[in-house]
Amino acid sequence: MTEVLVEVEDLKVYFPVRDGWSTKDDRQVKAVDGISLALRHAEVLAVVGESGCGKTTLGRTVAGLASPTSGRVWFRGKDLATLSSGERKTYRRQVQMVFQDPYDSMNPRKTAFQMIAQPLTINRIVPKTDLVNEVLRLFDNVGLAPGEAYLNRSRHQLSGGERQRLSIARSMSVNPSVIVADEPVSALDISIQGQILSLMRKLQEESSIAYLFISHDLAVVRSLADRVMIVYLGQIVEEGTTDGVFSNPRHPYTMALLAAHPIPDPELSRNRHRIVLTGDVPSPIDPPTGCRFHTRCPIARPVCSQQIPPFKDFRNGHRSACHFADQLQSMARLLNESGPASH
Amino acid sequence: MDSHWRLYFHNWVSVLGLAILVLLALVATLGPALAPFDPQDIGIAYRALPPGMVNWMGTDELGRDVFSRSISGVRVSLLVGVVAAAASTLVGIVVGSLAGYFGGVFDHILMRITEVFQVIPQFFLAVVLVALFSASVFNIIVAIAILTWPVIARLTRSEFLSLKTRQYVDAARLSGASDARVIFREILPNAMGPVIVSGTLLVGRAMLTEAGLSFLGLGDPSRVSLGVMLYQSRPFIQFAWWAALFPGLLIFLAVLSTNLVGDGLNDVINPQMVEER
């Protein structure tokens, strides 16, 4: 077993609905509500879910940008809450982040050079005399060539793809062991997405970085991830190896996500068991009782709204939190044969 | 950014404002060298002379040359306006940055203090302050700065509240940047635009407040300011109107020009608002 870099145990991150001194409204947005995970050396772990399910908050917490309400985050066996300020600096370096919006992740008043040089000088990665060379090396590493041409550009002089390459270069500059990638390609054109994904894969193979890869795009996840975690309303509903989850989903929510995703083969597309989601994600302020998915689940039974489903384990660490995880395939088939329901 | 600056010069009104302001600033700096007479020189024989070849703006009720007095008046008014606006902007930026960046209880305390200053009738507070601590130019500047910093503080705070959630701020934190570095290198440069616009508008407001205080007899008696000139010439306005008209006109021009420059800067900073017009 390879080394566990980041371990998260029963993490909860709540945000108050109202801030300040007012005590009238003590409701909380339960962005992350009891998630545990382990990210190993050189592994790509994907976190998948709809917008508002807490995946970004999870990523920010792992990167140290948000603080847990309860639960623990360990890095290389050390509890983040107990780190000394020196250790915290090391942690900051070790866990970097690539953001969703490459435009917003660049300071409008800084050039590409300043953006990459900042982490290098703050963390004293290279002596001042080598600064330009190191920046050029990092540019080259992410495919910004010739590097000299990019040094003095600011964000509006770069294309979306170039900006995200620069973002990746910035995160790589401090030699991290973990990169939290929060929807790194969803703001990019489809043609650029592939380039950025293959760059990320290349860097991961070269430097054996672990990615916590946050995405809602199943095709992207499938092409990159070793393991997948499906998140719904701040909780994990299913997790397992990418192959296991994609070929044999054990949760109706996963099946719905897969069904929403087009398959290029019409034969396969027609014959698969479709679960179509209706409605919106319920409010994370006041999540549904029992199984949180029961309000939208097409196979929900009375038990679903009363009891929280425990995890059921399958092969290779594949597990699912559904009362009917074992019978899911046949239930879905029945649902399909009974004909198209309301639409 | 260079192309944005051209926007300023596209609007002839802003250019006019800048031209007037530059002219007044030149007058203020050259000051005594331009004045044909000593502004304090009393001449009983030359009382209340109308504008003419010798006294271009006439003389006042004590025979002092209005033109020479106006030159030193512009000097005092601009000094008060610029220094008071700068001081209040500085205080506002510090308070607003800290409140906006650190948030929470700290923000609450700072903002409640700010509101206390905002709910007190402003001109009344200035009158009380100046009356209590003697009417000197320094005290007038301090009183005006105390009145106006809350505006800048609230503006800076709101800029910080919005800018601190930007991803580049998070990215800087991940780069290992300290709070001070994030505030000064990442957020403040991007928050400065609207703050500078408001600061420029404050210059005009400060000059008006100084004129108002002087008109109530709370001006610095040892300095000739435009407001003091208005105050002294008021009883004699029926037979020496020029002694009140010219300083009044100069106050008008000075305030107008700073407001025009402020609006012009605003266009530079919010170019999309220009396009929508």
Q: Do B177 and A122 touch (CB under 8 A)?
A: yes
Nearest alpha-carbon partner for A335 in A284, A273, A288, A290: A273
Of B103, B171, B186, the CB nearest to A99: B171
Question: Is A23 or B265 the better-scoring residue by pLDDT?
Answer: B265
Nearest alpha-carbon partner for A292 in A7, A34, A10: A34
Q: Do A174 and B173 touch (CB under 8 A)?
A: no
Report pLDDT digits (tens) over A211-266. Answer: 999 998 888 899 899 999 999 999 999 999 999 999 989 999 998 888 877 766 77
Closest residue on chain A to B106 (Cα): A20
Is A127 among the domain residues? no
Least confident of A191-195, A271-275, B215-219: A271-275
Q: Which of B168, B173, B185, B269 to mutate to test the interface with A (most CBs of A within 10 A)?
A: B168
Is A266 among the domain residues? yes
pLDDT at A112 > cutoff 50? yes
Is A242 among the domain residues? no
pLDDT at B6 > cutoff 80? no
Neighbours of B23 (CB within 10 A): 13
Give CA–CA dist B193/B208, Å, rounded: 24
What mean pLDDT comes out for the span A316-335?
Answer: 82
pLDDT of the residue at B101? 95
Cβ of residue A65 closer than 8 Å to a chain B Cβ: yes
Residue with tokens 């000094």: B79
Q: Which of A67, A118, A158, A168 to mutate to test the interface with B (most CBs of B within 10 A)?
A: A118
Cβ pairs A/B, distance under 8 A: 59
* A277 — pLDDT class (breaks 50, 70, 90): confident
Q: Do A21 and B174 touch (CB under 8 A)?
A: no
Query: What ipTM score was computed for the predicted complex, to two decimals?
Result: 0.85
Least confident of A153-157, A262-266, A314-318, B264-268: A262-266
pLDDT at A339 > cutoff 60? no
User: CB of A182 within 8 A of CB of A152?
Assistant: no
pLDDT of the residue at A182? 93
User: CB of B36 within 8 A of CB of B216?
Assistant: no
Cβ of residue B259 closer than 8 Å to a chain A Cβ: no
pLDDT of the residue at B24? 93
pLDDT of the residue at B276? 46
pLDDT at A337 > cutoff 70? no
Is A313 among the domain residues? yes
Report pLDDT digits (tens) over B14-48. Answer: 999 999 999 999 998 887 788 888 888 887 877 87
User: CB of B242 within 8 A of CB of B50?
Assistant: yes
A97 contact residues in B (CB cutoff 8 A): 170-171, 174
pLDDT of the residue at A286? 86
Q: Do A104 and B167 touch (CB under 8 A)?
A: yes
A99 contact residues in B (CB cutoff 8 A): 167, 170-171
Q: Which of A107, A156, A168, A172 to mutate to test the interface with B (most CBs of B within 10 A)?
A: A107
Q: How many domains does chain A have?
A: 1
pLDDT of the residue at A1? 57
**What is the average pLDDT value for chain A, to the nearest integer?**
87
Is A46 among the domain residues? no
Report pLDDT digits (tens) over A2-42. Answer: 789 999 999 999 988 875 555 667 788 899 999 999 999 99
Closest residue on chain A to B111 (Cα): A20
pLDDT at B61 > cutoff 50? yes
pLDDT at B2 > cutoff 70? no
Of B168, B176, B181, the CB nearest to A93: B176
DSSP lists the bridge partners of residue A215 as A48
Is A298 among the domain residues? yes
Q: Provide the shortest C-alpha distance from residue A176 to chain B (in Å).
A: 11
pLDDT of the residue at A269? 65
Cβ of residue B175 closer than 8 Å to a chain A Cβ: yes
Report pLDDT digits (tens) over A223-235. Answer: 899 999 999 999 9
pLDDT at B4 > cutoff 90? no
Q: Provide the shortest C-alpha distance from residue B194 to chain A (in Å).
A: 15
Nearest alpha-carbon partner for B234 in B254, B219, B256, B253: B219
Which residues lie below 8 Å from residue A137, measured CB to CB, with a gap of 6+? Answer: none
**What is the average pLDDT value for chain B, to the nearest integer?**
88
pLDDT at A83 > cutoff 90? no
Report pLDDT digits (tens) over B141-195. Answer: 999 999 899 999 999 999 999 999 999 999 999 998 999 999 999 999 999 989 9
Nearest alpha-carbon partner for A255 in A308, A297, A213: A297
pLDDT at B271 > cutoff 70? no
Question: Is B207 or A91 the better-scoring residue by pLDDT?
Answer: B207
What share of chain B in percent tops pLDDT 90? 54
Neighbours of B266 (CB within 10 A): 20
pLDDT of the residue at A340? 46
pLDDT of the residue at A341? 45
Is A19 among the domain residues? no
| Beta-sheet pairing, A227-232 with A235-241 | antiparallel
Is A109 among the domain residues? no
Complete domains list, chain B, with CATH: 2-276 (1.10.3720.10)
Which pair of structure tokens corresponds to residue A304? Answer: 């679903």
pLDDT of the residue at A21? 57
pLDDT of the residue at A343? 40
Cβ of residue B118 closer than 8 Å to a chain A Cβ: no
pLDDT of the residue at A24? 66
Asked, as a colleague might, if the bond just before A146 is cis with ω within 30 of 0, I would say: yes
Report pLDDT digits (tens) over B194-251. Answer: 999 999 999 999 999 999 999 888 888 888 889 999 999 888 888 888 989 999 999 9
DSSP letters for A198-210: HHHHHHHHHH--E
Neighbours of A191 (CB within 10 A): 8
Nearest alpha-carbon partner for B157 in B119, B114, B105, B101: B101
Q: Do B173 and A100 touch (CB under 8 A)?
A: no
A122 contact residues in B (CB cutoff 8 A): 175-177, 181
pLDDT of the residue at B114? 92
Cβ of residue A70 closer than 8 Å to a chain B Cβ: no
pLDDT of the residue at B166? 92
pLDDT of the residue at A342? 41
**b vs e for B126-152, b when ≥16 Cβ sit within 10 Å of the residue's Cβ?**
bbebbeeeebebebbbbbbbbbbbbbb
Give CA–CA dist A135/B62, Å, rounded: 73
Range of the domain at A271: 247-343
Q: Do A107 and B170 touch (CB under 8 A)?
A: no
